[in-house]
Amino acid sequence: MLLVTLYFPPTGGGGVQRPLKFAQYLPALGIETHVLAPDDSKWIHSDSELRVPTQAWVHRARFIGPKGRKPAEELHGKEGVSRALVYARLASRRLLVPDENVSWNLTSIPAALRIAREHGIDAVLTTSPPGSVHLVGAAVQKATGAKWVADLRDSLAAHPHRRSDSPAARAKQKAHEGVARLVGYGHANPAGALVSDEHRVTALGAGGIADGDAHVFRLPLPPSLAAKTARRRLTLTLAWLTPINPEHRGYRRAALALEPTGGPKLVAERSDVTTRPSRRGTVQHERLEGRAAVPFASGSALELTVACRADAGALESSVPYALIATLEVPHELGLPIYEEVRQALRVPVGVRTGT
């Protein structure tokens, strides 16, 4: 396996620990591990005491790119002409997409291809941030056919610290969305969608919907999550069969959308992708996460609304659709959410009494 990371000793900081542990434990599991990292990532932290695992082969590619300091740190104490020069130098970072570290790909991609061919690499693991490191994995996969695993520690598309009200910021966001579409959610996990267990419950729904209509589905909430601070994830998938209009550039006549519209706000943040790319075509797939303590009464439910509108000309027929909603919590919490939701969904059997 080839592990590609921008952060590796002697670089320091919290972000180094994850790839460092990969390089330590993968060889211990019998996996021949090669690491590709910069010779000097110009990151703000360094740690000479971090030990590089001796069982992994570490390869270095020359780093080409700006220093890792924040703009505010670069500008601190600067005035007049010197401040203007720093501003001009920082402005050049905006021209690098999807992020300022993408220039490392000029040396890291050729190095990764060479390592993959010389050592017969079967799989490449790219770990972000930055998001541009995943382009190395895509290049190796395309050139050699090796399997590619993208390890996402932060959202590729959503950047909480970036302004979105300027053309430059919007252009940068577009580039991040392109990388997000390339990486997606990784390999499909059929068991996660089709099989429930104690800590994961999956509910299915289906129907036919007309233009302007909305259908509401209720997903009962497990009482064990009430007022509990715990990570939880809601995965939503909606797919539909749309009539088409070949004479319209929009092509699909029906645009459907699935949205949580009622009930306690157990999940509030979308992860990995933005709303807009996830709703193109005839499939919507999103993951929403939360961890805040949310109180709710027994019998509460999350309302999921499927709405339909005409998109490419008139929509005169009903559109068949299906949806899957999966609610899950970490296994170590030991919360029996599957059994609780199952009991809430059971249809009571009426009993007729004689007179």
pLDDT tens over the chain, length 355 residues: 999 998 888 877 777 888 889 998 898 888 999 999 988 877 766 777 778 888 889 999 988 877 665 655 555 566 777 777 766 666 666 666 677 778 888 899 999 999 999 999 999 999 888 888 888 998 999 899 899 988 887 665 555 445 555 566 666 666 666 666 665 555 566 666 667 788 889 989 999 999 999 999 999 999 998 888 888 888 889 999 999 888 888 888 999 999 888 877 877 766 554 455 556 688 888 888 888 888 888 888 999 999 999 988 899 999 999 999 999 988 888 888 899 998 888 766 556 665 5
Domain housing 220: 196-345
Is 32 inside any structural domain? yes
Total number of domains in the chain:
2
Q: Are residues 231 and 174 in the same domain?
A: no
> Would residue 353 count as lying in a domain?
no
Q: Tell me, what amino acid is at 308? A: C
Is residue 19 located within the same domain as residue 158? Answer: yes
Asked if 310 and 282 sit in the same domain, the reply is: yes
CA dist 46 and 50 (Å) reads 9
3-state secondary structure of 285: strand
Strands 283-290 and 232-240: antiparallel
Neighbours of 121 (CB within 10 A): 19
Residue 15: partners with Cβ closer than 8 Å, 6 or more residues away? 7, 129, 153
Q: Is 5 exposed, middle or buried (0-12, 13-18, 19+ CB in 10 A)?
A: buried
Pick the closest to residue 232 from 187, 263, 265, 186 (CA basis): 265
Domain boundary among 137, 157, 183: 183
Peptide bond into 98 cis (omega under 30): yes
Query: Do both 227 and 202 map to the same domain?
Result: yes
Please give the structure tokens belonging to residue 136: 């190395």
Question: How many helices and strands, by DSSP H and E, does the chain display?
Answer: 9, 13
Whether residue 201 is found in the same domain as residue 139: no
240 & 126 share domain:
no
